[in-house]
Amino acid sequence: MSFSVSSQITNDVARFFLSGELDASSANAFRTEIEKVAAQKPKQLVLMVKDLAFMASAGLRVLIFAKQKLGVDVPIYIVSPQQPIIDTLQMTGFHHSVHIVNEYPE
Protein backbone atom coordinates (compact mmCIF):
# COMPACT_ATOMS: atom_id res chain seq x y z
CA MET A 1 0.00 0.00 0.00
CA SER A 2 1.71 3.18 -1.12
CA PHE A 3 2.20 6.14 1.18
CA SER A 4 0.76 9.55 0.58
CA VAL A 5 0.98 12.79 2.53
CA SER A 6 -0.53 16.22 2.02
CA SER A 7 -0.85 19.27 4.23
CA GLN A 8 -2.76 22.47 4.78
CA ILE A 9 -2.39 25.36 7.19
CA THR A 10 -5.37 27.20 8.61
CA ASN A 11 -5.16 29.70 11.47
CA ASP A 12 -1.61 28.61 12.37
CA VAL A 13 -2.67 24.96 12.61
CA ALA A 14 -0.81 22.68 10.21
CA ARG A 15 -2.77 19.57 9.29
CA PHE A 16 -1.12 16.60 7.62
CA PHE A 17 -3.13 13.84 6.00
CA LEU A 18 -1.22 10.57 5.96
CA SER A 19 -2.32 7.29 4.43
CA GLY A 20 -0.81 3.98 3.41
CA GLU A 21 2.46 2.62 4.76
CA LEU A 22 5.16 4.88 6.18
CA ASP A 23 8.55 3.18 6.03
CA ALA A 24 12.13 4.16 5.25
CA SER A 25 11.33 4.39 1.55
CA SER A 26 8.54 6.92 2.10
CA ALA A 27 9.71 8.85 5.18
CA ASN A 28 11.51 11.46 3.08
CA ALA A 29 8.22 12.55 1.53
CA PHE A 30 6.82 13.13 5.02
CA ARG A 31 9.94 14.97 6.15
CA THR A 32 9.85 17.20 3.07
CA GLU A 33 6.23 18.07 3.80
CA ILE A 34 7.16 18.95 7.40
CA GLU A 35 9.99 21.18 6.18
CA LYS A 36 7.67 22.94 3.75
CA VAL A 37 5.13 23.65 6.47
CA ALA A 38 7.73 24.54 9.13
CA ALA A 39 8.75 27.55 7.07
CA GLN A 40 5.30 29.02 7.81
CA LYS A 41 5.85 28.62 11.57
CA PRO A 42 2.62 26.87 12.58
CA LYS A 43 1.60 26.85 16.24
CA GLN A 44 0.16 23.33 16.21
CA LEU A 45 0.88 20.22 14.20
CA VAL A 46 -2.02 17.86 13.59
CA LEU A 47 -1.46 14.48 11.95
CA MET A 48 -4.61 12.90 10.55
CA VAL A 49 -3.58 9.24 10.45
CA LYS A 50 -6.82 7.24 10.39
CA ASP A 51 -5.78 5.73 7.05
CA LEU A 52 -2.15 5.14 7.99
CA ALA A 53 -1.85 1.36 8.10
CA PHE A 54 1.84 0.98 8.98
CA MET A 55 4.53 3.12 10.56
CA ALA A 56 8.14 2.05 10.99
CA SER A 57 10.77 3.82 13.07
CA ALA A 58 11.52 5.99 10.05
CA GLY A 59 8.18 7.67 10.77
CA LEU A 60 9.12 8.14 14.42
CA ARG A 61 12.34 9.81 13.35
CA VAL A 62 10.35 12.31 11.30
CA LEU A 63 8.31 13.12 14.42
CA ILE A 64 11.54 13.77 16.32
CA PHE A 65 12.71 15.92 13.42
CA ALA A 66 9.42 17.86 13.48
CA LYS A 67 9.66 18.53 17.20
CA GLN A 68 13.28 19.63 16.94
CA LYS A 69 12.54 21.78 13.89
CA LEU A 70 9.39 23.48 15.18
CA GLY A 71 10.33 23.75 18.84
CA VAL A 72 8.97 22.49 22.12
CA ASP A 73 6.12 24.97 22.19
CA VAL A 74 4.45 23.50 19.12
CA PRO A 75 2.29 20.57 20.24
CA ILE A 76 1.85 17.53 17.99
CA TYR A 77 -1.58 15.89 17.81
CA ILE A 78 -1.97 12.41 16.33
CA VAL A 79 -5.59 11.93 15.37
CA SER A 80 -7.31 8.52 15.15
CA PRO A 81 -4.27 6.28 14.89
CA GLN A 82 -4.86 2.58 14.31
CA GLN A 83 -4.08 0.37 17.32
CA PRO A 84 -0.72 -0.99 16.08
CA ILE A 85 0.52 2.56 15.65
CA ILE A 86 -0.64 3.46 19.15
CA ASP A 87 1.27 0.40 20.38
CA THR A 88 4.43 1.62 18.64
CA LEU A 89 4.05 5.12 20.10
CA GLN A 90 3.58 3.68 23.58
CA MET A 91 6.39 1.14 23.32
CA THR A 92 8.86 3.86 22.36
CA GLY A 93 7.56 6.40 24.88
CA PHE A 94 6.40 8.84 22.21
CA HIS A 95 2.99 9.04 23.85
CA HIS A 96 4.63 11.18 26.57
CA SER A 97 5.49 13.84 24.00
CA VAL A 98 2.56 13.83 21.57
CA HIS A 99 -1.19 14.05 22.08
CA ILE A 100 -3.03 10.96 20.84
CA VAL A 101 -6.67 11.92 20.27
CA ASN A 102 -9.72 10.45 18.57
CA GLU A 103 -10.79 13.71 17.01
CA TYR A 104 -9.43 17.15 16.39
CA PRO A 105 -11.87 20.06 16.11
CA GLU A 106 -12.32 21.42 12.58
Upper half-sphere CA count for residue 57 (Cβ side, 13 Å): 3
Residues 54-73 that bind other proteins (CB under 8 A): 54, 56-58, 60-61, 63-65, 67-68, 71-72
Angle of CA points 21, 26, 29, to nearest 5°:
120
Q: Which is nearer to other proteins, 1 or 101 (CB)?
A: 1
Distance (Å, whole) CA 99 – CA 79: 8
Contact map string, positions 1 to 30, toward other proteins, x by CB under 8 A: xx------------------x-xxx-----
Instruction: Using alpha carbons, select from 29, 26, 25, 21 the residue that is nearest to residue 84.
Output: 21
Instruction: Using alpha carbons, select from 89, 88, 58 the residue that is nearest to residue 76.
Output: 89
> Smallest distance, Å, CB 93 to other proteins?
4
Q: Which residues bind other proteins (CB under 8 A)?
A: 1-2, 21, 23-25, 54, 56-58, 60-61, 63-65, 67-68, 71-72, 83-84, 87-88, 91-94, 96-98
